Structure 1
Amino acid sequence: MTEAPAHDEAHGGGLGTRLNWLRAAVLGANDGVVSTAGLVVGVAGATESQSALLTAGLSGLLAGSMSMAAGEYVSVSTQRDSELAALAQERRELRERPEAELAELTELLARRGLSQDVAHEAAVQLTERDALRAHARVELGINPDELTIPWHAAGASFLAFTVGALLPLLAIVLPPADDRLWVTVLSVLTALALTGWWSARLGAAPPTRAILRNAAGGALAMGVTYAAGSLLGAAGV
């Protein structure tokens, strides 16, 4: 009975970590597909030059992947700094007022459905085993063994964006000129449907909404940029 809170928190921490990695991977891949597709389809609306399409696509891929990596690094660094600061404060409170922290842990466990006596006994045992880890998991929702690593998140975002961006880039430059547009559109929509399904499956969510949301967003982005490119091309800009 007394092991349940720790087990629940460990499970929650593992799920949280998986969902964080999932978020970064899906966001990076979707951004790579949609932003690069929008860029090259927009350029395709203005010109049929393969070199122009390749230049635009590669530039978008490099700029986007670096931007995603930098943004993820800053975001995760901030999160990690906050986690470390919270752990340091908790460590200090455990050292300066252990009885108050024990009472706090008891109350937190009681709020989860344990009786007061059982909650107190569980808090005592968890504190004796590892007070900081118990408070980190139950009070802060942090697993000290699974703190976020900025470089890992940045690398994952960079790779995910690059992989996603390669699809529309190759789809727009490899086929013959007459087939470029429809090949790119179909490839992008298929990829977005797959990433939507994949993210929903790993996140244990219904896949239909995620698939439709991803595909609709990509279709809208390509439609807007193609229209803008066609107008600019017709105007001779």
Structure 2
Amino acid sequence: MHEETVGSTNAEAFKAAREGDPGRLWVTAAMQNAGRGRRGRTWVSERGNLYASLLLIDPCEPARMGELPMVCCVALAEAVEAATGRLGWVSLKWPNDLLIEGAKISGILLESEQLPDGRMAIAAGFGVNCNHHPDNAHYVTTDFAALGYRIAPSDLFVHLAGAVSRCLTQWSGGKGFDEIRSAWLKRCVGIGAPVTVRLPDREIDGIFASLDAQGRLLLETSSGTMTISAGDVFFPPAPGRNEEKI
């Protein structure tokens, strides 16, 4: 379903779930007035970009829920490349950031809610910068228009819906996660390089070694290998720069 203005498409998806929707429902909006990103950050949601959420009901066993962000990330990368006709143009930064020419062009937010009847509802929210981008203090950002592409949110959504459907089928509730993980790693930036991982309570420096079988980051530190399920990854400053905002 499409709305002109909503608080957030994820919130609308959860509302549908509470009302009994069986899932696989897409909610899109021209604008959000209460959009949010990971860790409660505000997601700027002006008209002209894509805002879409997919409602999933009990998509997998609870232990495999952590794989879904990677499924969504691979699907969005495929959708962006199909819309632009630029295969291999998109790179991925753990856990689910899409980068084009080193700049972030999208946000993905997955949220869950236990429904009164015991079902688990997942809202997978996608925000893609089609015509404008925020001046973000945390990351360098861009949009398709700034890169020379005119892509309507509705056209990108067609590619996104198809790619998500294909990737969910490939993933098959976790049975095909090895293929998803391999597709993610082919686009990955930063493996083998020094990174800083920002957690809610601290920062950890180390070498981004790889991903484990569940898609968690393996960080080589001076005290051994750490397995990290969630965090923000930052690369060291480039020569001549005070701060790296990728």
Tell me: higher relative CO, structure 1 or 2? Use CA pairs within 8 A at least 6 residues apart. Answer: 1
Both structures adopt the same fold (TM-score exceeding 0.5) = no
TM-score bracket for the superposition, by shorter chain length: under 0.3
Rg larger for: 1
Question: Given the two structures, how large is their TM-score scaled by the length of structure 1?
Answer: 0.27
Larger helix proportion of the pair: 1
TM-score by length of 2: 0.26
